[in-house]
Amino acid sequence: MKINIVGTGYVGLISGLCFAEQGHDVLCIDSDAEKIEKLKHGDAPFFEPGLKEMLKETNAKFSVKGDECDVAICCVGTPDDDAKAVFDVAKANKDVKFFIVKSTVPVGTCKKIAAIITGEVISCPEFLRQGSAIEDTKKPHRIIAGVESEKGKDVISRLYEGRKIFFTDLNSSELIKYASNTFLATKISLINEFANYCEQVGANIKDVSKGVGLDPRIGEHFLEAGIGYGGSCLPKDVKALKGDFKILSAVHDVNEAQRLKILEKLGDLKGKKVAVLGLSFKPNTDDLREAPSTFIIEKLKTGGCDIRCYDPQAKHELNVYESPYKTAQGCDVVLFLTEWDEFKNLDLKKLRAQMKGDTLVDARNIFDYLKAREAGFTYLSLGRV
């Protein structure tokens, strides 16, 4: 099929590369001319495992302008759940036979877009996760498609041959995306509240999560307690619905408070040297959007700390150190904020030897607390006593 993909963010670029790999004739379009030039030269605009390699081998083309196509797939960003950019793309593609909306849009948007497009509008929300975006796109757990005709079903079946597809109506498809993300956020806020409760009653959240997750009705995933959810999706989608859902208002409040919980344990840090290890909102991405680290760093700054940072991928104005050990040199406190694999294998004795102080704050419960104490640290984590 001849496919125009509009928007080359995580969803658009990775979907485009995967459709091209399947043998479709793909044109990836973005209004950012500089980004398109880079893509034409095989340069990845963001860090995502496997992306560089895919860009080297792809047959997909890149342009600032669309071309004639069978299907236009809209993947532009919708910050604050404002669908204006999606309507603009629809207006520019009004004569297309099939207009597929992958961007997350408020319920009812596709029905409104149907009035603009001469062909059929299809809702096909994207569920890929940053950090495993390529794998998620190639082997999705499910494809959700809101369609209004057999021809629409046929287009989706051809695009996602061999995948598990659930067909529904346009509004339900749009809502499944919000329901999924807010469900995940709720799971995280609830387990974080349990982590805080563990500290009050003397329990271990790691074991509580494991025990709870053994029930298949609950499931083992998304039960990692820590400093709350970040990124470009979960916070945005919870905010979009929290006015209508009492439970989501609480999920949001718990998440905001959770980001700073770890600092309450440290007390006054004025004049202290603090090494922040891990900045991205989760491992395997360089994305800092709504990353808990950005809120924590701001708080540390206003508290008068001398901060230095390190992250394997994320760029930050303070991120000038080349290794965790160098970052920790002469510091009073090390603060682990993202659970990168690189951190899991650190030599804790060596890390401790670099430091002036002995405080290790493990905001993602990465380390075995006995090993951290053996290495000479005063070890603080969440939900473990």
Which of 145, 185, 187 lies closest to 164, judged by CA? 145
**Does 229 contact ligand UDX by CB under 6 A?**
yes
Asked if 335 and 274 count as a contact pair (C-beta separation under 8 A), the reply is yes
Q: Is 278 in the site for ligand UDX (CB under 6 A)?
A: no
CB-nearer residue toward ligand UDX: 226 or 383: 226
| Total number of residues shown for the chain | 385
Q: Does 47 bind ligand UDX (CB under 6 A)?
A: no
Cα–Cα distances (Å) from 102 to 46, 93, 273, in that order, read 20, 15, 45
Which burial class, exposed, middle or buried, applies to 72 when counting CB atoms under 10 A from its CB (0-12, 13-18, 19+)?
Answer: buried
Q: Which residue lies nearer to ligand UDX by CB, 238 or 305?
A: 238
SS3 call for 290: coil
Q: Is 294 in the site for ligand UDX (CB under 6 A)?
A: no
Q: Binding ligand UDX by CB under 6 A: which of 18, 83, 159, 234?
A: 234
Check residue 281 for interaction with ligand UDX (CB under 6 A): yes
Return the range that interacts with ligand UDX (CB under 6 A); candidates 12-20, 221-229, 260-268, 308-316: 221-229
Contacts of 79 (CB under 8 A, 6+ apart): 236
Judged by CB under 6 A, does residue 277 bind ligand UDX? no
Backbone phi, psi, residue 4, to 5°: -100, 125
Stretch that binds ligand UDX, among 76-84, 229-237, 238-246, 303-311 (CB under 6 A): 229-237
Token couple for 313: 């991928």
Contact between 156 and ligand UDX by CB under 6 A: the answer reads no
List, in sequence order, every residue forming a beta bridge with 184; answer none if it has no partner: none
**Under 8 Å between Cβ of 285 and 130:** yes
Which residue, 119 or 231, has its beta carbon nearer to ligand UDX?
Answer: 231
Closest to ligand UDX by CB, 54 or 184: 184
Answer yes or no whether residue 127 interacts with ligand UDX by CB under 6 A: yes
The DSSP call for residue 93 is T
3-state SS of 29-84 is ECCCHHHHHHHHCCCCCCCCCCHHHHHHHCCCEEECCCCCCCEEEECCCCHHHCCH
Based on the shown chain and the rule CB under 6 A, indicate whether residue 189 belongs to the binding site for ligand UDX. Answer: no
Candidates 35, 261, 282, 316; binder of ligand UDX (CB under 6 A) is 282
Pick the binder of ligand UDX from 223, 240, 254, 309 (CB under 6 A): 223
Two structure tokens written together for 355: 């430091």
**Residue 12 binds ligand UDX (CB under 6 A):** no
Is residue 128 a contact residue for ligand UDX (CB under 6 A)? yes
Cβ-based nearer residue to ligand UDX, 126 or 362: 126
# residues contacting ligand UDX (CB under 6 A): 19
**Where do contacts with ligand UDX occur on this chain (CB under 6 A)?**
126-130, 181, 184, 188, 222-224, 226, 229-231, 233-234, 281-282
